[in-house]
Structure 1
């Protein structure tokens, strides 16, 4: 496998991505960049390419924490450092794997040596390696919550603290955070999202000529990486020199009051939370001016900085698409046209490459590409997020007691689809969890054995000891002190005495929705309420770090509308476009759910499922439809699937069929009204499994 990185200047197009990375190379204070885009769009390739262009660093000799010789950290674990010239080395780019352990990230203390020998032995982690460099997280949206918490602490404090049973270590940890993600796999936690200074969206080009150039360059690189890199060496050197020149100019750039007022007006106009947006936009505008070779920030710098720094800070809930209304941005900036405290921009703009905007150099190949693709933000896709809630204009609804439309009268008649109905506003739902104690991925729904949480017991270590249970260790060692010849005050501890803590926390589950989209649900008011309820449950799943899936049944069968995924946005989009009409093949929906869960148990056996069936309980089509539905429900119950039935039946006459389904599934039944967390009609909900065990959750 080659160690030669693909040259950044050889990537076709993707001007916004290259600009965001280069601005961070000019001014690390910008705060990093989050790269969002579909798979195969050269996100990782661009990050590795810019790392080779970063200036070299002076570091203290033999310091594992990359202390600056000019200002060494007085609390460095390898210190104190005497005044010395130090070494010069390239800036490091440290990659954080999604599945890394806590000790690999923050470092490991040897608890055994600390107890038996009184020696503080510390092995630095990735945060120490990344100090004064780049910390790169590929698929950052899949990072486990406990690692996200550690990243947030380090980013906020500029230092890493390791505490293990009274033994503590602290070291400086300031790094440029760069992450890539595919939005289809789920969104980031808002706290971590805000820590990225800039964000860009990339997508593969749809232009054949540009795609041909992408493939041509990639094949040439794979055939002979060294020769390909040599071909682009001159452009790489020119870009490296321009970064160094912009860094040298940066302290001289003036951010005038006029530019500051523009920044404040833009951030206030887009109603971003907090003041970090203003600060990042100001730093980005300053870096843009330095990149363009100017010492004054102009209006165009503010505009470009806002387009990079604000889109990901405008989300109000997980279903809001990131983005910025450029027309509104221009309207806000036009209010300052009469102010003349900013000089005219230079002919060369901040987006121009090192050879100028009209050069036919390698950066001008088109708007798109890279060794794996890349380019303009996607305009639309099947997974497009729903429109903001306030823009929906539902059609007039029938009266509350109006009968639902009848299903197709003839067995072979084609089902008449009703137009998709907008969902009602989401609300905070009751919490449902899976009974028992799991061992799945960290989350916020069901009880689980986790590396974090409250201590519930002790056991012998499995591998390296990281979570010492001190009381249990002392209790195990105490009976053997006389036999071991103890003479002093210290406790003689052997390896066999060590005990690690067993902790209990919360896990995320697979929440599989089975939604009735048949004609019996097609009354507009009812379907709007049903979609609002499912949307609320989707929001709850997002907050509890669940995976979700969705099955719909109508007409002649059931289909998997959304395979299990971490992308709640995709679930909301499928729900928004869900049509209704036709017969009610309830049994088909339940059998499809059984098959999906069977496959998911093979893929991820530790993630326990929660089945949410949204229906009025009716079943039509074929002989004995209700009996077949009951048998399908019994199959799910026999497999131990924890379930909840959301009863959508409405009107003055109710058949209670959803309650019958609940009994077959061994599941609680809640109405749409009971689903609300502020409802007082049902204070306790019970989820039963196939063995009759129960888990009671207070409202």
Structure 2
């Protein structure tokens, strides 16, 4: 991560850095510290501008100065965050939660070095050359592949598992808290050395040679990893030049290409959301080979420095006296790029691809949000079935089939949820459908609606004493555009995973449907959750998430078998929806219950399931019951459940993926 940040500051045209990693790995800390070790610009420190994820477009690009417009009638441009970040660093924490149109805007400005403003009657262009750094936790959702590809470099970070290193982190943090100034003074010399090295690399990078052989090797590497387009080749070349300058070399070597490829290619190899990130190191070494690049032939226009190197034509003329010429390798035992500023080599970190997966018995991720136990039902009467002696707990984990493209699923009506690509909603972006005072839109307003602002002020001109001339405006006259766009939703599946479902191979189709909808939700910025019930209890198999990688693994491992605790499944769904309603009240949910309607686990299972359904119906959640009952003799239990739930009832012979998706769309 440190190396990637250094390279993009040496050569800003690399295109910025995306840092992916679990929470608590100092992602934000190191980014904020970067500005302090960069060489000053115009005699002052490098600006570090942080972009909040809730920022509006006019805050990012700039807009009309409202005070000047209302009081003086002048259309004066007020710069936004892009202008403030010029010649500095623009940092976006949790960039995966930022609205996509803002991410597009940031990446365009970072690539072009300027920002164009076309809004509120203002048309202008200003310089916006900055280093874009984004950090994100993949568990909270992914970036779209189109946006992911446009970040120049990306790195995966993970917390160290070495006890000695973790203890050192705590020790230094406590030392800083006790004496911040003294702690900083201890590292002043190291920071100054690092600053000088970055400054030297920035001056050198323009004269580093990229030979035809090196460029061809970069093209070979990108072709071997089957990346889309040519952006990977360009970024790898630029990063290799920056790394050569960082290593105090005048010509790109294989080591520079290897380092650049490790940073520029992993996120460009992901063809599907379910594909695992990473880079095949063996393939990279095989393509690069062990031989050095051939020397560049001398020519009449070759005015480059002659370092008097060996027969391999390499530029290594430092005699081995300065390890700054050694390129950074992320293999075990290699030195960190900051070796020159450290007293000792730190312990090695584990593989960044390692992820935490909860084992059986782990706490539910919603435990921290629960103030009390889930809702309990009153005892409806004498027990008719205890559920003991169940011999059908097969614990079979069915595999999902190939995912498919789903048609658009929308929730009826117009919501006020988070901007997405699914249901109609009042949003801060989209087509203009009207105007209103800002306080009536709950933060969902847009740009100034000039015509409606004038109309609102016109009726008060006589009372304000206007006798002619300039229109008298007040802040209460302000009207902003009401825009209609698309919102994201929560689709919650409550799936019967009992033995009867497993016996008819229904779980394969259900898993395929959920994965397909999850893929569609990933593209439309939705959340999808999964609750299963089997045996004697219900389980939150997939908390509401945007992360398709975590979802795919959870669903693949989902077992089936045992009796049917229908009431517990419905209660778990009621509790989860209540939690999500508190966390995100604007996101509208759709509950899909996949069951044959049987309730065979626990005392008075049928009566309890009806009470649970009535509890859910009182919440007003939109829902559908997919009837999985099959065979010539049917009991109609799912239809009865739908009646108590206030849901649509859809009888089907089997839970096929296509039918399930179609049912879900019709219910929305």
In the alignment, does 2:589 pair up with 1:609?
Answer: yes
In the alignment, does 2:317 pair up with 1:333?
Answer: no
On the 8 A contact 2:446/2:482 being kept in 1, the answer is: no
Displacement of 1:437 after TM fit?
Answer: 2.6
On the 8 A contact 2:386/2:602 being kept in 1, the answer is: no
Identify the match of residue 34 of structure 1 among 3, 18, 31: 18
Within a 5 Å distance, the mapping from 1:179-328 to structure 2 comes to 179-328=134-283
Displacement of 1:246 after TM fit?
Answer: 1.5
Match of 2:303 in 1: none
Task: Go from structure 1 to structure 2 and tell me whether the alpha carbon gap of 1:204 and 1:301 turns closer, same or farther (over 3 Å shift).
Answer: same
CA deviations on 1:93-149 (whole Å, 9 max, x unpaired) are 111122223333222313564477441222222111111111011121122334324
CA deviations on 1:637-667 (whole Å, 9 max, x unpaired) are 2211012344555667766654544444333
Task: Go from structure 1 to structure 2 and tell me whether the alpha carbon gap of 1:638 and 1:44 turns closer, same or farther (over 3 Å shift).
Answer: same
CA deviations on 1:206-261 (whole Å, 9 max, x unpaired) are 11112122211221122112111111122212111111221222122111111111
**Higher relative contact order, chain-length normalized (CA < 8 Å, sep 6+):** 1
Identify the match of residue 348 of structure 2 among 357, 360, 367: 367
| 520-529 or 575-584, larger mean C-alpha shift | 520-529
Task: Go from structure 1 to structure 2 and tell me whether the alpha carbon gap of 1:307 and 1:527 turns closer, same or farther (over 3 Å shift).
Answer: same
In the alignment, does 2:555 pair up with 1:575?
Answer: yes
On the 8 A contact 1:383/1:573 being kept in 2, the answer is: no
CA distance in 2 between counterparts of 1:615 and 1:355 reads 55
Aligned-partner SS, 1:364: coil
In the alignment, does 2:381 pair up with 1:381?
Answer: no
Within a 5 Å distance, the mapping from 1:275-674 to structure 2 comes to 275-334=230-289, 343-344=313-314, 346=316, 348-351=325-328, 361-362=342-343, 364-368=345-349, 376-382=351-357, 411-413=388-390, 415-462=392-439, 467-478=447-458, 487=468, 493=473, 495-523=475-503, 525-622=505-602, 625-648=605-628, 657-668=637-648
CA distance in 1 between counterparts of 2:582 and 2:337 reads 55
CA deviations on 1:30-74 (whole Å, 9 max, x unpaired) are 11111111111111121122221212213xxxxxxxxxxxxxxxx
Match of 1:23 in 2: 7
Task: Go from structure 1 to structure 2 and tell me whether the alpha carbon gap of 1:660 and 1:268 turns closer, same or farther (over 3 Å shift).
Answer: farther
Task: Go from structure 1 to structure 2 and tell me whether the alpha carbon gap of 1:39 and 1:165 turns closer, same or farther (over 3 Å shift).
Answer: closer
What RMSD over aligned residues (CA atoms) do the two structures have, in Å?
3.3
Task: Go from structure 1 to structure 2 and tell me whether the alpha carbon gap of 1:258 and 1:629 turns closer, same or farther (over 3 Å shift).
Answer: same
Task: Go from structure 1 to structure 2 and tell me whether the alpha carbon gap of 1:305 and 1:651 turns closer, same or farther (over 3 Å shift).
Answer: farther
Task: Go from structure 1 to structure 2 and tell me whether the alpha carbon gap of 1:46 and 1:547 turns closer, same or farther (over 3 Å shift).
Answer: same
CA distance in 2 between counterparts of 1:314 and 1:356 reads 26
Displacement of 1:198 after TM fit?
Answer: 0.9
| 607-616 or 31-40, larger mean C-alpha shift | 607-616
Task: Go from structure 1 to structure 2 and tell me whether the alpha carbon gap of 1:675 and 1:645 turns closer, same or farther (over 3 Å shift).
Answer: farther
Gapped regions of structure 1 (runs ≥ 5): 1-16, 59-87, 369-374, 385-407, 688-699
Gapped regions of structure 2 (runs ≥ 5): 297-311, 360-384
Task: Go from structure 1 to structure 2 and tell me whether the alpha carbon gap of 1:364 and 1:661 turns closer, same or farther (over 3 Å shift).
Answer: same
Aligned-partner SS, 2:453: helix
The normalised TM-score by structure 2 is 0.83
| 432-441 or 172-181, larger mean C-alpha shift | 432-441
On the 8 A contact 2:162/2:347 being kept in 1, the answer is: no
